[in-house]
Amino acid sequence: MDSAHPLVTKRRYVTADVFTERKFGGNPLAVVLDAEDLATEQMQAIALEFNYSETSFVLPPDDPAHTAKVRIFTPRAEVPFAGHPNVGTAFLLARENQFEAAARAGSFVFEEAAGLVPIRLLCERGLTVGAELRAPEALSRRTALSRDAAAACLSLNPSDVATQVHAPQVVSVGLPFLVVELASRDALSRAKPNLAAHAEFLPLDGADAVFAYWRAAQEPASPEETILHARMFSPLDGIAEDPATGSASAATVALLASLGPGERAERTWRIHQGVDMGRPSLLLGRTTIRDGIAVATHIGGRCVAVLAGSFV
């Protein structure tokens, strides 16, 4: 820790595995509960110490009508919004006494750099078991990348990249990702990050990570639900692979919903991620479409508390 900003106060942290029903699955998250007077460089150093894909820091809200201000850091940088930190932070705060009233109401609102993030708590038998967020921004479609370049980023052949529905493209609902559809589950299994290609083609329109997915065949019994299998690589941000990426999943389902049949105003999505790296995750999405535009995108899932402690 920078000696100019010593940590002299004992601070509490808690961790959870997010988008899973069992410990040591899903995406691990650390939440620092007493972050009010931490400097930005201290938060960044703490996030690097935890070395999870993200660490969140809870501060008092600017508007007392909101639950908290939440800042989110990867090991290398602060991000304006992310999926599993919101879901996991809400789940963990629901267990804290100072948030008891909001937890009873069943909803939180977090202030973040990308905007306000409304969150609905998921409860069973009186216990909070997870959370669902609403993305803070409408879908934005940004620069497209060639099939060859996208394939290179994933160490795949160009024929492994599907372009019938959309080209590889940067999309965002609060945090941008390059989203690439693959032609088969086998291609998804074979994908791995090519650091040289990432450095050549990224960052692009703010995106320094690649979210690759394969769309499973539609189940006739569930025509309104679509199943995706996904992986996310961000070596430029120090994350070789992420087990569950809510912000990228949200942007992807918002894109697919806006390109899908116009009569389906409401759709649900199941995104399986982390399977290929031994941390299986399940993300549940909902989209609302009006006039071909995704006007609301939700991502949620279950969580499991894992660790609690303090540092000085």
- Catalytic amino acids? 54
Residue with tokens 């000696």: 3
Question: Shortest CA distance to 127 belongs to which of 306, 302, 309?
Answer: 302
Question: Shortest CA distance to 142 belongs to which of 173, 98, 172?
Answer: 172
Evaluate the CA torsion angle 192, 195, 197, 203 in order and state its sign: positive
In degrees and rounded to multiples of 5, residue 234 shows phi and psi of: -145, 60
Question: Shortest CA distance to 250 belongs to which of 233, 275, 267, 236?
Answer: 267
The string of DSSP codes covering 23-64 is: TTSSEEEEEES--TT--HHHHHHHHHHH-SS-EEEEE--SST
DSSP state of 216: P
CA atoms of 215 and 197, how far apart (whole Å): 25
User: Contact at 8 Å (CB) between 73 and 57?
Assistant: yes
